[in-house]
Copies of this chain bind each other. A is one copy, B any other.
């Protein structure tokens, strides 16, 4: 019998206290008890978004709130600029197109970050302010690249386009200052750093975004932010809320508050650096440059290990579940998720697992050693 190590970039492991919170009987979702609870978590989640903006909560996958952002902000034929550098930034563009927006893609090589210069350059040319919105992906889950959203937003300067940020695999794990960085819409999902099961989508909406929402002509019903806000003012939701997940959210917000956002961000930085140090010590190649390597998901270039089905070996021998590459990165990278409920020993285990499946006894202990060195000495040792 082997314990399961879920090392995909979401759904992530859920702490026992959060699981237990869900084991609570259903209640009347229109009754006073739930109203108080929903008000409390809707306020509490704002701290994680680092915002005073409204944050709406939907029963939804992450992709649902990406769509919600699009259909609430824009109108058909609106010009939107996106900088796809992976599956999820490309998906954001496709959603906008599906509803009739004109999406201009400025592609970036997969595995690299979007540079502020290309943002600055494109917007400088838009003298007539034809661009209505800019789509950014904070953490590109498909490659393990963290885009510097602050720098990207700064590069927009005072262009009036709304900034829409997919922070699904970053929010709550990586610093993201919604208000300080002037981000109009930020969306995230429950199943990543928030340490919840999938099923809740979250969206923060700035006053500037609310003004755009008034003018939006894309069709919407379920995702209607105005309806959701009107309900939220009474501690309600327009349609049935995912009650168990709201119980769980209350508990996860308590855990987050107890640890503190600053400590959580540092934990993710520390373990991701230790993991990368360990992987390099094993002679494996990181797919992403250290400059923009994500604190929540790490991709290993597995070209050269074709003969070993690393994912399968990790699963069969040690019950460690990792993710593969998607689309054009299929069979080219292996992705290790380390966000949310994750600690040093999770890093030790994935490295030990890799050491034992690589079929080179000279590697035993080598990655673990580097990670331990990093944990104990941190930057000083590098």
Contacts and interface: CB of A to CB of B under 8 A. Distances in A.
A241 interface: no
B372 A341 contact: no
Interface stretch (A79-87, A204-212, A293-301, A345-353): A345-353
A15 interface: yes
B372 A364 contact: yes
Interface in A325-382: 341, 343-346, 348-349, 352-353, 355-356, 361, 364-366, 368-370, 372-373, 375-377
Interface residues of A, number: 35
Contact of A343 (B3, B267, B361): B3
B255 A341 contact: no
Contact of A15 (B1, B370, B372): B1
A372 B2 CA distance: 16
A369 B352 CA distance: 9
A366 B3 CA distance: 24
Contacts of A2: 343-345
A110 interface: no
B345 A318 contact: yes
A310 to B, nearest CB: 15
Contact of A344 (B318, B368, B370): B318
A259 interface: yes
A80 B255 CA distance: 55
Interface string A61-104: 00000000000000000000000000000000000000000000
A285 interface: no
Contacts of A365: 365-366, 368-370, 372
A150 interface: no
A18 to B, nearest CB: 11
B343 A356 contact: no
A23 interface: yes
Contacts of A259: 1
A5 interface: yes
Interface string A1-31: 1110100000000010000000100000000
B356 A372 contact: yes
Q: Max chain B CB contacts within 10 Å: which of A1, A264, A370, A375?
A: A1
A366 B373 CA distance: 12
Contacts of A370: 365
